[in-house]
Structure 1
Amino acid sequence: MKKYIITALFSLFAIASVSAQLKSDAQVSKLYQNYISIKDALASDNADKTSKAATEFIKTASAIDYKILSEGNVNTLKKDATAISNASDIAVQRETFFNLSDNMIALTKQFKISANPVFVQYCPMADGSWLSNEKKIINPYYGSSMLSCGSVKSEIK
């Protein structure tokens, strides 16, 4: 009987642990989707849409539990997104996107954010990386002026 109780307790702890991991992955996955919206808006040269996407990113980041992602990391992400949201000039938004991308790339390596591979892409002209759901290059740093500039540097599974 004691053996069954111990086994049941271990099973409950394992289920709770898996449940907590899935919750954390889901929260970070939503943040990633907001990031992709920012990237897509930058690639389409739309400063207003970029600002709105960054505002959504901030809302999602504000809801993340500090047990999942440290307060310092959340604040860093929110700081970059706030700078993007507050800027009306797309060049300024793109400049801040460098930092946001570097931080999101690091985060993506820690959490399972997608069932599909996530691609780390790089533009040598901008000397900057970003994340994408697809291999096709759609450059957020130059938009329509150099939309396909760059290459896939790595894949996060």
Structure 2
Amino acid sequence: MVAVIATTLVQATFAQEHNGHDANTSVLASYYSLKNALVAGDATLASAKSLELVKSIESTDNKIIGDKDKAELLKHSTMVSKTTDIKAQREDFAPLSTAMITLAKSGKLSADPIYVQYCPMKKSSWLSSEKPVKNPYYGSAMLTCGKISETIN
């Protein structure tokens, strides 16, 4: 009987941790997809990827992303999703990235390193899964403008 109870508790705990990690990974993966659409200069794709990010954030438990952080992320990702003006999307991406950076620093979003990259022209940062800089604020006009300012492990 004790073994059955212990097994059930361990499985439930593992499921909660696993689901939390999946939710975090989903939010980060959706953010990366949005960033890549902005790098490519594809406003229609950026709008669609931002909507995916909104859904990922909304489906994440409030224990994983707190109410305040969730509200901030939803505010900016929704703004990106509501327009197909690439300049406006890139403007809204800056505060979204600031909120994502805060979230990445406060919790484990990925088993892989997360690179905080900085654009001195825009004076804004973003997250990347790769070391090579691909600037979402200027796309092909200044694709490699920026540097890694921090690595989150």
Aligned counterpart, 2:72:
76
* Maintained 8 Å contact 1:29/1:112: no
Instruction: Give CA deviations for 1:32-87 in whole Å, capped at 9, x if unaligned.
Output: 00000110000011110100000101111111111222223212211111100112
| Equivalent residue number for residue 137 of structure 1 | 133
**Which protein has the larger Cα radius of gyration, Structure 1 or Structure 2?**
1
> Is the 8 Å Cα contact of residues 25 and 111 (structure 1) preserved in structure 2?
no
How many aligned positions are there?
153
- Letter matched to residue 71 of structure 2: N
Please give the alpha-carbon distance, in whole angstroms, between the structure 2 residues aligned to 1:63 and 1:142: 31
The amino acid of 1:153's aligned partner reads S
Q: Runs in 1 of length 4+ with deviation above 6 angstroms?
A: 5-12
- Counterpart position of 1:29: 25
Partner of residue 154, structure 1 = 150
Mapped to 1, the partners of 2:110 and 2:68 lie a distance apart of 24
Greater alpha carbon shift after TM alignment, 102-111 vs 5-14: 5-14
What pairs up with 1:59-98 in 2 under 5 angstroms?
Answer: 59-98=55-94
Aligned counterparts of 2:43 and 2:96: Cα–Cα separation in 1: 16
Q: Distance in 2 between matches of 1:146 and 1:104?
A: 23
Cα deviations by residue, 1:108-155 (Å, 9 ceiling, x for unpaired):
112222221110000000100000011000000000000000000111
Q: Structure 2, unaligned stretches of length 5 or more?
A: none
TM-score by length of 1: 0.87
User: What code does the residue aligned with 2:117 have?
Assistant: Q
- Report the residue type matching 1:42 in the other structure: L
**Counterpart in 2 of 1:118?**
114
Task: Read off the aligned partner of 2:33 and give its amino acid letter.
Answer: S
Deviations 1:85-123 (A, max 9, x none): 112211110011011101111111122222211100000
TM-score by length of structure 2 reads: 0.89
Deviates more, 1:67-76 or 1:120-129: 67-76
